[in-house]
Structure 1
Amino acid sequence: MTAASTPKGERRRNLLVVAAAELLTEGGFAAVRHRAVAERAGLPLASTTYYFGSLDELIGAAVRHEAEGELAEGRRRLELLSEQPHGTADVIELVLDLLLGTASREGGTESVLLRYERLVGSPRRPALAELMRELAARLHELLGEIFTRSGVEISGDRMFELIALVDGAVVNALIESDPDPRGAARRMLRAQLL
């Protein structure tokens, strides 16, 4: 029997994962520390090492938790788009939510900067490599489905080009201290899809 195989253990482990995911979103990899996670979860410090073999394992669980939530929300919104009339603007906003995060809707650079720091910094954590590839493949699959159901037939190569254009627009906006990197990405996608 593993530490998290009891209902109480599963609840505690989940509290730690959620706390780590929140910290990751708010402050990047540097914010996810044993003490900070335990405090956020309202659990003893020792619980982080009891339920997770390493900090990398905890960070991996947090990354997966955050990504699973975003993918599920993307699928839910895709179903809503499929059920009602929508325009290219609706599709663009859904794609941007998946690529930049829903917090980017509020404007400003902080949430987008933190997200890109996590994405670009993940290769420094080899334990995340396989997970990041898996999550990227699932994201690309969902994006392909969004475009297909929206009547925008694009090849896999074209989808990668669109993602690269969004990434480039966002990075340039961040470099230039543009207060609206999502707006820069939106303009780039709109120009390519209309």
Structure 2
Amino acid sequence: MVSSSGAGENFSAASPRKPAATNKKAEKREIAKAKILNATLDLIARKGLAALSHRSIASEAGVQLAMTTYYFGTIDNILVAAFDEYCKSMQPVNEDLRRAQHELLSRSVDSNGALKDRTQYIEGVAEIFAQLIDTGPTARLRQLRIECQYLYEQHPSAALAEKIHGYNDWLSGIAREFIEPLGTDAPELDAQMFMWMVQCLEFSAVTSVGIDGASSRQVLLRMLRGMLV
């Protein structure tokens, strides 16, 4: 007959195996979910939102068909989760923009924090965004294809529409950081207009939309100067 203390010792020795098994299962779950979301974004970049189905996503991800439904339920849920992943991929891009703006502003203001030379600052802003827009066929091109599909989606679910609205607010906030030092009479509106123009120029790389006869830098310079008229 085993004593109560002995039983307790045996149970204690065996118990560490359960967390290890649980962690392994959770790790496999997260790997599968990541594969599904990455596959969704790859399909959006290559073929657009219209190409998405549980079957196409599972095939692209190399997982069983039932797993897309098991982990996410509906295509709409997958789209929302994939958009969150896209937004994470944009954080370094937008943080680089913020750093560039802070560096430009530190060179452009006097000891009182006022712009020493608006023309110089405007040229600096146009150059920063022109470099972003004209990066060529890099990983940014994939991001643009994904962003274009999401932002131009005509019938998003309520949850996705809310996410897209929040994303645009995030971009507008960054644009306002660039526009506010100019001291325009409508900085909120001007920031949104500037953001839309940047997006239009970026999307010209992945759509038929574009402005003929001018570089991205020239277009942005003209727009920024117009805000001061």
CA distance in structure 1 between the aligned counterparts of 2:169 and 2:131, rounded to whole angstroms: 17
2:223 paired residue number: 192
User: Counterpart of 1:57 in structure 2: which amino acid?
Assistant: N
Q: Superposition RMSD on alpha carbons, in Å?
A: 3.7
CA contact (8 A) 1:21 1:62 kept: yes
Q: 1:139 to 1:163 in 2, by over 3 A?
A: closer
Q: 1:36 to 1:173 in 2, by over 3 A?
A: closer
Question: How far does the alpha carbon of each residue in 1:133-174 deviate from its partner, in whole angstroms, 9 at most, with x for none?
Answer: 1111112122223456xx555511111222344566789999
Alignment of 1:119 with 2:151, yes or no, is yes
2:112 paired residue number: none
CA contact (8 A) 1:173 1:180 kept: no
Alignment partner for residue 14 of structure 1, among 13, 23, 34?
A: 34
Q: How many residues align?
A: 176
Alignment of 1:103 with 2:141, yes or no, is yes
Identity %: 23
User: Counterpart of 1:191 in structure 2: which amino acid?
Assistant: R
Alignment of 1:69 with 2:100, yes or no, is no
CA distance in structure 1 between the aligned counterparts of 2:200 and 2:31, rounded to whole angstroms: 40
Q: 1:153 to 1:20 in 2, by over 3 A?
A: farther
CA contact (8 A) 1:60 1:131 kept: yes
5+ unaligned residues in a row in structure 1: which ranges? 105-110
CA distance in structure 2 between the aligned counterparts of 1:7 and 1:22, rounded to whole angstroms: 22
1:88 paired residue number: 125
Matches within 5 A, 1:160-179: 160-166=192-198, 177=208
Alignment partner for residue 57 of structure 1, among 77, 99, 111?
A: 77
CA contact (8 A) 2:58 2:64 kept: yes
Alignment of 1:136 with 2:168, yes or no, is yes
CA distance in structure 2 between the aligned counterparts of 1:153 and 1:53, rounded to whole angstroms: 49
User: Counterpart of 1:40 in structure 2: which amino acid?
Assistant: E
Question: How far does the alpha carbon of each residue in 1:95-152 deviate from its partner, in whole angstroms, 9 at most, with x for none?
Answer: 648xxx9318xxxxxx66x75453222444334111111111112122223456xx55
CA contact (8 A) 2:133 2:201 kept: no
Using structure 2 for the length normalisation, give the TM-score.
0.60
In the TM superposition, residue 76 of structure 1 has moved relative to its aligned partner by 3.1
Considering only CA atoms, is the larger Rg found in Structure 1 or Structure 2? 2
CA distance in structure 2 between the aligned counterparts of 1:77 and 1:33, rounded to whole angstroms: 35
CA distance in structure 1 between the aligned counterparts of 2:61 and 2:204, rounded to whole angstroms: 36
Q: 1:94 to 1:125 in 2, by over 3 A?
A: farther
User: Counterpart of 2:125 in structure 1: which amino acid?
Assistant: T
CA distance in structure 2 between the aligned counterparts of 1:156 and 1:94, rounded to whole angstroms: 24
Using structure 1 for the length normalisation, give the TM-score.
0.69
Tell which deviates more after alignment, 24-33 or 42-51.
24-33
In the TM superposition, residue 55 of structure 1 has moved relative to its aligned partner by 0.6
5+ unaligned residues in a row in structure 2: which ranges? 1-24, 108-122
CA distance in structure 1 between the aligned counterparts of 2:32 and 2:223, rounded to whole angstroms: 46
CA distance in structure 2 between the aligned counterparts of 1:13 and 1:136, rounded to whole angstroms: 26
CA contact (8 A) 1:38 1:44 kept: yes
Q: 1:94 to 1:53 in 2, by over 3 A?
A: farther
CA distance in structure 2 between the aligned counterparts of 1:146 and 1:82, rounded to whole angstroms: 9
2:113 paired residue number: none
